[in-house]
Chain A
Amino acid sequence: MKWFISHNTIRSSFQLTLEKECGEKVSHCYQCGKCSAGCPIAFQMDYLPNQIIRMTQLGMEQQVLSSRTIWLCASCLTCTVRCPREIDIAEIMDYLRRQAYKKGIIPVEETEIPLFNKIFLRNIELFGRLYEMGLIGMFNMLSGEFFKDVFLAPKMFLKQKISIFPPRVKNIKETRAIFKRSGKLGKAHRDKLLNPRLLFLNLSRKIIGKIAKRDNS
């Protein structure tokens, strides 16, 4: 990838805003590359984590927010604990995801990730704790991959990793109150979870994939 960076890009407020809003000093980074060296998902990323930080330093907002990297980050925190300059890279990635989501810059191939995040939160809101069965079921329904990992379920059930019924939480109302308040504070609008476009995309991708597989074999 080649870019041309103008004077205005470097002087843009992207880095300053980031430092102010998420509290992480991006300017501290001296590009040693330790974050990228230890990242378990780096092989899938379009830019390595250190490149994302460098691009942030140079104010390349558009490129950073539209990169796949920020969505692929699993928040395993390997980079954060190993950073010699004490930068919480995972936190920055999270911030960048939120920022990209706000601006509606979501790469099509990775659209499942925000969906998963949303279902996860909705799940917590409803049950107070994670209800795995509900999460998986809802995710499979809404992503269009209805039978994904379905054969794992009996095994996990036998090992008591998942249960049929949601967990019981003592005071579910309080959790919901928290969600309500934070929703108001963050002025977050609730999108609909059902996204026909995504559903269609995933379904068609699955069918195309199957056809391609058959052709290959």
Chain B
Amino acid sequence: MKIGVFVCHCGTNIAGTVDVERVSQAASKFPKVKHSASYKYMCSNPGQNLVKDAIKKHKLDRIVIASCSPSLHEKTFRKCVEAAGINPYLIEMANIREHCSWVHKDREKATQKAIELTRLAVSKVSRNKPLEKTYTTIEKKVLIIGGGISGIQAAIDIAFANYPAVIVEREPSIGGRMARFDKTFPTLDCAACILTPKMVTVSQSEHVTMHTYSEIEEVSGFVGNFTVKIRKKARSVDINKCTGCGACYNKCPVKVPSEFDMGLGKRKAIYTPFPQAVPNVPVIDRENCLYFKTKKCGICKKICTVGAIDYDMKDEVIEEKFGAIIVATGFNQFDHSVYGEYGYGKHKDMITGLHFERMVNSSGPTGGKIIRPSDGKEVRDVVFIQCVGSRDEQKGLPYCSRLCCMYTAKHALLLREHNKDSQAYVFYIDIRAAGKNYEEFVKKVQDEYGAIYLRGRVSRIFEKGGKLIVRGADTLSGAQIEIKADLVVLATGLVAQKDAPSLAQMLHIPYDKNNLFTEAHPKLAPVETITSGIFLTGACQSPKDIPDTVATASAASVKALGLMVQDKLAREPLIASVNQDLCSGCLACLKACPFSAIEEDEIEDRKLRRKRTVAKVREAVCTGCGNCTAVCRMAAIDLEGFTNTQIMEEVETL
């Protein structure tokens, strides 16, 4: 065994605190070390050539690099030694920068520590084994959970690369929240005008399959090979036969509040959520349908000329395989009922931003008229309250929902556009308009559309003489303010979907205390999760506006396509492996594994002459976190690259 040690100066990053030459000299005296050298920048080309030349000259077979953190340059040096003909897993990095020179000031002690760290790495590398990368196949299909704007954009991007995508959407139509909006800030494009063409593109694409009115039931497998069970809820209308003529819902006698219109309008028991729905196939709401309630009626079946209505349709569970999953489940509105002082449920003329969106929409329940829900009169004074739920650790959310400032400004603008005599009052705490042309937009609303911005939270809302009296403050002038409003619009914050935790558990992806899915790295891996092959887009990760949502959707689909284009997936061999002879079958590791990478296995025990249960690592899923090795009481599980013998060797040298 001939070990080579290379010590890096890293400019003055290491050499400033550590006597690099002394480390190099000390290392040359370690057992089995044949050669040691130091260089200014070991990661640079000349530095790497130095390593390569030394390997050839001194016939080295194991290498220790004493430099920065392995997370920075381990891959660089693995490639380097591989080029020189050594197995890339026969190197070790001694981190004498982050763990030593950067955190110490005393040159003498730091040098001593650097020598010790190098000594440990030398002893560890002496127990390294050559490892080979493993390969798995990839199912060339992407699952997209959620059919809102982010899911749609991701599907379009994947279909553009000629790879199949499957959208699973819970609602009867794709489109999500954006389909409800009227106009979009800051350019005021009509939401439907920019969304519906995308919806149609998705529905016409040969590469995209849509499962609407469906939900994810179960997810198993690992990157490249996910197996997903999808429950297609009984639509009661045959999607292949229906022509979308609309005769059924025109004749249906049952009227219930429409979820799509936030309860401001009515829909039938057989319905499509909105006229531009994709697919344009109705659904029977079995809870309200007369046929399902009393077994009478059946008008829709009688009137349907193509016989698409099928009352006996049952939920169907299909199973499909996918190579990658994009999670685009979106957001929910904050439930403002916690604010008793705002009189939730008491005041009819208090609505949320999404209600306002439907009201101002020309195809909405009021035909674009902004009216008081209580008496249908047109409004004059409208109070908008920002940060309802957001930035309130006491009752609401600790975070800023990021888009309420912008959509409130847009609402104030639309209000004035729809009604010249109206006046918008906006209670805000801060205006956070950080986006291209956002600040300009808010200023425009204040200057040209005469919205009055008052800095302060509203404390109380009560009814008096048919008007809502809003009590607030303006902290800029130090005044208490009372406004008689016809309508109050709450800019409620954005929260995670209610079932986000259960989906996260199904997918084995982490979520934070706000139930928002957690990205692998907030800056450097914003659309990835720590479970490889699962990507995040849109507001399920954090509140996002449409531009950001579309950007992350495209980012996530590129990440998914990066998997799709590979023939096989190379996997790091630094994973756990079970010595089944030693395994007692307690399966403590199975519980400890956060990635479901361990499964039960049965082997024929030759000594006992019977079958017994042991643990087995699913190599493609294992990330090498080491949880299992820590809980294994038999020391039957070893993590390659960090085996027990390696660690023990290190400890003994110390």
A124: interface (CB < 8 Å)? no
Asked if A4 contacts B476 (CB within 8 A), the reply is no
Most buried by B among A3, A7, A28: A7
Q: A10-B425, A27-B446 are in contact. Are A3 and B479 (CB under 8 A)?
A: yes
Asked if B477 contacts A10 (CB within 8 A), the reply is no
Asked if A10 contacts B452 (CB within 8 A), the reply is yes
* Complex interface residues of chain B between 395 and 445 (CB less than 8 A to chain A): 423, 425, 443
Q: Out of A2, A25, A31, A55, which one reaches B480, CB within 8 Å?
A: A2
B188, chain A: closest CB distance, angstroms: 21
**Residue numbers in A under 8 Å from B481 (CB-CB):** 4-5, 10, 58
Asked if B476 contacts A6 (CB within 8 A), the reply is no
A92: interface (CB < 8 Å)? no
Asked if B480 contacts A4 (CB within 8 A), the reply is yes
Q: A11-B423, A27-B446 are in contact. Are A54 and B474 (CB under 8 A)?
A: yes
A66: interface (CB < 8 Å)? no
Q: Out of B447, B454, B478, which one reaches A25, CB within 8 Å?
A: B447
Asked if B477 contacts A51 (CB within 8 A), the reply is yes
Q: A7-B381, A10-B425, A27-B446 are in contact. Are A1 and B478 (CB under 8 A)?
A: yes
Q: Which residue of B lies closest to A4 (CB)?
A: B480
Q: Which residue of A lies closest to B439 (CB)?
A: A30
A29, chain B: closest CB distance, angstroms: 10
Q: Which residue of A lies closest to B471 (CB)?
A: A4
Give the size range of B's interface with the partner. Answer: 20 to 34
B482: interface (CB < 8 Å)? yes
B459, chain A: closest CB distance, angstroms: 13
Q: Which residue of A lies closest to B448 (CB)?
A: A27
Q: Out of B447, B474, B480, B483, which one reaches A7, CB within 8 Å?
A: B483
Asked if B447 contacts A28 (CB within 8 A), the reply is yes
**Residue numbers in B under 8 Å from A54 (CB-CB):** 474, 476-477
B373: interface (CB < 8 Å)? no
Q: How far is the CA of A190 from the CA of B450 in the complex (A)?
A: 39
Asked if B478 contacts A5 (CB within 8 A), the reply is no
B231: interface (CB < 8 Å)? no
B421, chain A: closest CB distance, angstroms: 12
A65: interface (CB < 8 Å)? no
Asked if A31 contacts B484 (CB within 8 A), the reply is no
Most buried by B among A2, A27, A50, A51: A27
Q: Out of A5, A11, A25, A30, which one reaches B479, CB within 8 Å?
A: A5
Q: A5-B474, A27-B446, A27-B447 are in contact. Are A60 and B484 (CB under 8 A)?
A: no
Asked if A58 contacts B480 (CB within 8 A), the reply is no
Q: A10-B452, A54-B474 are in contact. Are A4 and B423 (CB under 8 A)?
A: no
Q: How far is the CA of A50 from the CA of B475 in the complex (A)?
A: 13
**Residue numbers in B under 8 Å from A10 (CB-CB):** 425, 452, 481, 483
Q: A10-B452, A27-B450, A28-B447 are in contact. Are A55 and B423 (CB under 8 A)?
A: no
Asked if A3 contacts B478 (CB within 8 A), the reply is yes
B611, chain A: closest CB distance, angstroms: 76
**Residue numbers in A under 8 Å from B452 (CB-CB):** 10, 57
Q: How far is the CA of A55 from the CA of B479 in the complex (A)?
A: 9
**Residue numbers in B under 8 Å from A2 (CB-CB):** 478-480
Q: How far is the CA of A28 from the CA of B453 in the complex (A)?
A: 11
**Residue numbers in A under 8 Å from B423 (CB-CB):** 11
Q: How far is the CA of A57 from the CA of B447 in the complex (A)?
A: 12
Q: How far is the CA of A57 from the CA of B451 in the complex (A)?
A: 11
Asked if A60 contacts B479 (CB within 8 A), the reply is yes
Q: Which residue of A lies closest to B455 (CB)?
A: A31
Asked if A58 contacts B479 (CB within 8 A), the reply is yes
Q: Which residue of A lies closest to B470 (CB)?
A: A7
Q: How far is the CA of A11 from the CA of B380 in the complex (A)?
A: 12
**Residue numbers in B under 8 Å from A5 (CB-CB):** 474, 477, 479-482
B137, chain A: closest CB distance, angstroms: 59
Q: A11-B423, A58-B474 are in contact. Are A3 and B480 (CB under 8 A)?
A: yes
**Residue numbers in B under 8 Å from A1 (CB-CB):** 478
Q: How far is the CA of A179 from the CA of B447 in the complex (A)?
A: 37
**Residue numbers in A under 8 Å from B474 (CB-CB):** 5, 54, 58
A92, chain B: closest CB distance, angstroms: 16
- A55-88 Cβ-contact flags toward B at 8 Å (1 or 0): 1011010000000000000000000000000000
**Residue numbers in B under 8 Å from A11 (CB-CB):** 423
CB-based closest 6 A-B pairs: A3-B479, A54-B477, A5-B479, A5-B481, A54-B476, A7-B484
What is A's interface to B at a CB cutoff of 8 Å?
Answer: 1-7, 10-11, 25, 27-28, 30-31, 50-51, 54-55, 57-58, 60
Besides the contacts A5-B474, A5-B477, A25-B447, what 12 more A-B pairs have beta carbons closer than 8 Å? A2-B480, A4-B479, A4-B482, A5-B479, A7-B484, A10-B452, A10-B483, A51-B476, A58-B454, A58-B474, A58-B477, A60-B477
